[in-house]
Structure 1
Amino acid sequence: MHFGTLSLPAKLFLLAYHPDKGRFTGGPDLHLVVRAGALTELAQRGLLRESGGTVAPAVGARTGDTVLDGLLEAVERSRPRKWRGWLTYRSRATLSAVRDQLTAHGYLRAERRRALGVFPTRHWELERTGYAEALHAEVLAVLRGPQPVEEVGEREAALVVCAATGKLRPVVTGRDRRRHKDRLEELTDRSAGGSPELRELMRHLRKALATAIASAEVARSGGG
């Protein structure tokens, strides 16, 4: 697995790494962001679409990526759900699959530790910090410009939209989201290429991610 071939969910996981702090600080909702990346990539590949307001898979199709194919199989086997339903349903399984995949390919190193000196846990260290730093620079360049949105690649646009909407603070600040709000709208449409159907789908998926993140924040604050 080379850097240029990393899937969208894998790149989003690496964006949770904070270069200045030397550790992962993506926040408690990283599983939602990574799941959104997987759904987005499957949609861009034409393997997920909307049917009657719910997510419908291209049955039997596969990508060759274990993370993406695992999610696609889950969508095939499960009852119909809307985008938000698939963002939250067992989303930590996708996060774990991405971590395992990146570890197997040498991007991460798993260490066994004991919480409170008693309970065994696993901790991940980034082996290839240069890749995370390059991703950070790429996302900020696309978000802030001055490159015209129409010249941004569809995958790059999707990466920025997921990172910003998912509030991956190590790379996109609240100030960035507010300042570049209009550009994020344009990047959302750009992630769909020239397909009107996919453009609408991407808008729905982005809205679902924003809603899921907001709900999780309210729950943590004790408001629901």
Structure 2
Amino acid sequence: MPYGSLSLPTRIFLLAWDTGRNKIAGAPDLHLAVRACALAELAQRGLVSDVDGVVTPVLGARTGDAALDSVLELIEESRPRKWRGSITHRARDTQAAVRDQLVSGGYLRAERTRVFGIFPSRRYELERAGYVEVLHAEALAVLRGPVPVSEVSEGDAALVVCAATGKLRGVVSGKDRRQYEERLDALTDRSGASSPELPELMRGLRKALASAVSSAEAARSSGGGGGG
């Protein structure tokens, strides 16, 4: 996975990394944002569409990217789901697949460790902090300008919208979400600029991600967890 070839889900996973603390921080629902980015990229590639609110794949289509293809396979093999269900259903599987890709690509390093000195586990450390810092700077430039929305790539627009909606606080603060709400609306439409039906699909995906995150937050507040 050379620089410049990272998928949207791998890029948002890296965006959640705090380079100073060398760990993911401020992103309790990262798995939902990762899955939303995977769906966004598949939609932009024309491999999933919205049919009466149901996420519908192009049967047998594959991208060659293991994480994206696993999402396509899951959609094909599962019962029909709307966008929110497609975001939440086994979302942590997609996050794990993305993390493994980043280890294989040399962006992360996996170290074997033991919890309480007994239970085997793995700890992940960032190998390319400079690259992540560039990602952060680029994401903030997309969010805040001064580049016109019309000049932002569809992928970058989707990435920033998912980071904001998924509440990756290390990337987009609550203040930023409020201050740049209109620009985020414009970026949502921009993320679907390649075909007439995509802007509405992307708006639906963003709404579904916001709903999934709100439910996860409510579950944590009530002590019910927030897994997907």
- The TM-score bracket by the shorter chain reads over 0.9
Partner of 1:73: 73
SS of corresponding position for 2:49: strand
Whether 1:221 aligns to 2:221 is yes
Could you tell me which amino acid in structure 2 is paired with residue 15 of structure 1? L
Aligned mates of 1:61, 1:85 — CA distance in 2:
21
Q: Which runs of 4+ in 1 moved over 3 A?
A: none
Aligned mates of 2:132, 2:86 — CA distance in 1:
27
Residues 113-149 of structure 1, C-alpha deviations (whole Å, 9 max, x = no match): 2222222211110111111101000000010011111
Partner of 1:175: 175
How far the C-alpha of 1:195 sits from its partner, in A, is: 2.5
Structure-1-length-normalised TM-score:
0.97
Partner of 2:107: 107
Unaligned runs of 5+ in 1: none
Structure-2-length-normalised TM-score:
0.95
Aligned mates of 1:32, 1:194 — CA distance in 2:
24
How far the C-alpha of 1:26 sits from its partner, in A, is: 4.3
- Worse-superposed segment, 188-197 or 42-51: 188-197
Partner of 1:199: 199
Paired residues for 1:1-224 under 5 Å? 1-222=1-222
How far the C-alpha of 1:61 sits from its partner, in A, is: 1.0
How far the C-alpha of 1:28 sits from its partner, in A, is: 2.1
Unaligned runs of 5+ in 2: none
Aligned mates of 1:166, 1:8 — CA distance in 2:
14
- Worse-superposed segment, 86-95 or 25-34: 25-34
Aligned mates of 1:19, 1:223 — CA distance in 2:
30
Aligned mates of 2:80, 2:115 — CA distance in 1:
39
Note if contact 1:15-1:26 (Cα within 8 Å) is conserved in structure 2: no
How far the C-alpha of 1:22 sits from its partner, in A, is: 2.8
Aligned residues: 224
Could you tell me which amino acid in structure 2 is paired with residue 4 of structure 1? G
Note if contact 1:109-1:125 (Cα within 8 Å) is conserved in structure 2: yes
How far the C-alpha of 1:81 sits from its partner, in A, is: 0.2
SS of corresponding position for 2:21: coil
Aligned mates of 1:2, 1:205 — CA distance in 2:
28
Aligned mates of 2:71, 2:144 — CA distance in 1:
32
Note if contact 2:23-2:125 (Cα within 8 Å) is conserved in structure 1: yes
Aligned mates of 1:53, 1:104 — CA distance in 2:
36
Aligned mates of 2:120, 2:170 — CA distance in 1:
28
Aligned mates of 2:43, 2:141 — CA distance in 1:
24
Could you tell me which amino acid in structure 2 is paired with residue 76 of structure 1? E
Aligned mates of 1:105, 1:21 — CA distance in 2:
21
Residues 26-57 of structure 1, C-alpha deviations (whole Å, 9 max, x = no match): 42211101001101000010000011221100
How far the C-alpha of 1:70 sits from its partner, in A, is: 0.9
Aligned mates of 1:89, 1:45 — CA distance in 2:
21
How far the C-alpha of 1:223 sits from its partner, in A, is: 7.4
Aligned mates of 2:146, 2:223 — CA distance in 1:
40
Note if contact 2:47-2:57 (Cα within 8 Å) is conserved in structure 1: yes
Could you tell me which amino acid in structure 2 is paired with residue 61 of structure 1? A
Note if contact 1:16-1:25 (Cα within 8 Å) is conserved in structure 2: yes
Percent identical: 64
